[in-house]
Amino acid sequence: MRRARALQTIRRVSVTLASLALAACASKVALSDRMPESALAADEGVVIGSIVLAAPTDVDPEHVEPLAALRGRRLEAHVRRYVLRLGDLGFQDHVGEEYVLALVPDVERRFVLRAPAGMYSILELCDFHPGLFGDQRGCKSTGLASFEVHGRQTTYVGKLVLQVGFKSELEVRVIQGDQRARGIVTSGNPEQWLTLNASTTDAREATLRALATEGSPVPSEVQTELMDAAFPDWGFDPPEPQKVPGSS
């Protein structure tokens, strides 16, 4: 168990570095919720899945503000293809387009991804709020889950449930102390005191039935291969420090 969590941590660091390095050059594509109508190429496949951000309802008074802040944010999940480096360490190089799925707390969002065959990661969940110069990032979580797209195959990959919880008082104090030491101001981001727990459930029957009811062409053969949920971290994503003009 410890080794698994250690590997997950290494992979998460790799995911974070890769997303920062490649964000500027990856084109973004909104994920569809309907099946493609044209035939697949030999190196293409389709996956069907869904994501729900599940927030608790009966909470203590001190937890109301973080949940309200989360519900007021614009939330996105980002998906990218990756290739592995360094064997079992699982460092990921992300390639190709970045697929984006808009999320709303407590609303299950279906996605249908038609893409080149390969391994894919639900790379990050991030929130945005209005800033002085447009939308500004608040918090994020990286390395949520992974799945595989198989050539000329349609695969159901499950429902990713992201269960919202709350950081302990000790965790909050430690994070606040670190932020003060680093000069990071986060008073406008109370959602950072939340946590996420990821799990995958099989909602194949309901998902495929909804597609068919909406008139989307579901193939007669759909394989099931549930995505692997990871150990997501959730916290404040500090903006890049502003450079003073003329400084090196």
In a domain, 244, yes or no: no
In a domain, 154, yes or no: yes
Low-confidence ranges of the chain (pLDDT < 50): 1-10, 12-24
In a domain, 170, yes or no: yes
In a domain, 201, yes or no: yes
In a domain, 243, yes or no: no
Query: What is the Cα–Cα distance from 200 to 193, expressed in whole angstroms?
Result: 24
In this prediction, residue 18 carries a pLDDT of: 47
Do residues 201 and 158 touch, judged by C-beta distance below 8 A? yes
In a domain, 246, yes or no: no
Question: Smallest Cα–Cα separation from 151: which of 119, 117, 115?
Answer: 117
Cα–Cα distance list, 74 to 102, 115, 138, 167 (Å):
8, 26, 10, 22
In a domain, 242, yes or no: no
Number of domains in the chain: 1
First to last CA, the chain: 45
**One-character DSSP codes across 70-94:** HHTSEEEEEEEEEEEESGGG-EEEE
In this prediction, residue 139 carries a pLDDT of: 95
In this prediction, residue 238 carries a pLDDT of: 77
How, if at all, do strands 109-116 and 74-85 pair? unpaired
Domain extent at residue 39: 2-236
In a domain, 50, yes or no: yes
